[in-house]
Amino acid sequence: MLRRLQFIALRILILFFGVSIIWVVILRFVPVWVTPYMLSRKMEAFKADEDTELFHDWEPYENISKEVALAVVASEDQNFPKHWGFDFDQIYNAVTEKRKRARGASTISQQVAKNVFLWHGRSYLRKGLEAYFTVLIELIWDKERILEVYLNVAEMGEMTFGVEAASLRFYNKSAKKLTRNEAARIAAVLPNPIKFSIKNPSAYVNRRTGQIVRQMRYLGGQKYIENL
C-alpha cells in the first residue's frame, strides 16, 4: 500500500511539473487574457453585490509607452534588469529592517508568477509555488516578456487590470501616449490600487509620483530598460 501511494504521488508530481512547464511555455507567446486573481476579484465583487465588470485590454510591449515600463521598474523593482527573479539584497533588508509594518520585497518576476499562475494569500505552499514559477518564467521567458505580462495583468485601479485599461479609463488615451508624469502616477498606486486612485490622486500619491519621476531620471531614463 505504501509503495502504491508513493507511486501515485510520484505520478502526480511528474504530471504537475509537465503541465506547469507546458503552461509557462505557452504563455511565453500567447496573451494572458485572464488570471486567477482577476477571477477572484470578480467573485469578491459578486459576493459583495457590487459591479463585477472587469476592465482589461491586452497590448503588446511595443504598443505601451516605455515611460510606464520604466516607471514600474523604478518604483517596484529597480534591479529587475539584473537579477534572476529574486532580489536577495531587498529580501535581506525587508527581514532585518525594523519597521512597524513589514515591507514587501517581491520582484516584478515574483509578482507575475503570483498573479498569472497562483491565488493570492499567505501560506508556505503558495510561497513555495511562487518561487517555483518565478524560476520557470526567468528560465523560459525573457525580461521583456515578463515586464510585458506584468504591465498587462497588474491591477491598476479597482477592477482595472493592465496599463492599457487604466490609461483608457483614467486618462482617456492609449498607453502608448502616456507622459512620464502620467506613467509615474500609475506606478504610484500599485502598492494598493483599490485604496489609491489614479484619477483622483491623494497627497500621498502625488508625493510618490514625484519620487518615482526622480528615480526614473536617476536610473538614466528609458535607456535603463532598453536591452531587456
Task: Convert the pLDDT of each residue in 143-174 to its tens digit.
Answer: 999 999 999 999 999 999 999 999 999 999 99
> Which strands form 55-56's sheet, in the order they lie side by side?
55-56, 160-161, 155-157
Q: For residue range 122-147, what is the model confidence (pLDDT) as tens digits?
A: 888 899 999 999 999 999 999 999 99
C-alpha distances (whole Å) from 19 to each of 12, 13, 28, 130, 137 are 10, 10, 14, 16, 14
* Cβ proximity of 145 and 28 under 8 Å: yes
Place of cell 513555495: 128
d(CA 208, CA 228): 26
* 112 and 82 both lie in a single domain: yes
What pLDDT was estimated at residue 103? 44
pLDDT score of 67: 97
Residue ranges in the chain modelled with pLDDT below 70: 92-105
On whether both 140 and 193 belong to a single domain, the answer is yes
Shared domain check, 116 and 56: yes
Regarding whether 70 and 15 lie in a shared domain, the answer is: no
* Structural domain of 75: 31-225
Determine the pLDDT at residue 122: 81
10 and 47 housed in the same domain? no
> 158, 216, 155, 163: which is closest to 190 by C-alpha?
155
pLDDT attached to residue 95: 66
Domain count, the chain: 2
pLDDT for the residue numbered 94:
64
Supply the pLDDT for residue 214. Answer: 97
CA 100 to chain centre: 25
Q: Are residues 21 and 44 in the same domain?
A: no
Nearest to 72 by CA among 166, 182, 180, 184: 184
Same domain, 19 and 80: no
For residue 122, give the CATH number of its domain.
Answer: 1.10.3810.10
Q: What is the pLDDT of residue 99?
A: 52
Say if residue 21 is in the same domain as residue 35: no
- What is the DSSP secondary structure assignment for residue 35, as one 8-state letter? -
Cβ atoms of residues 25 and 124 within 8 Å? no
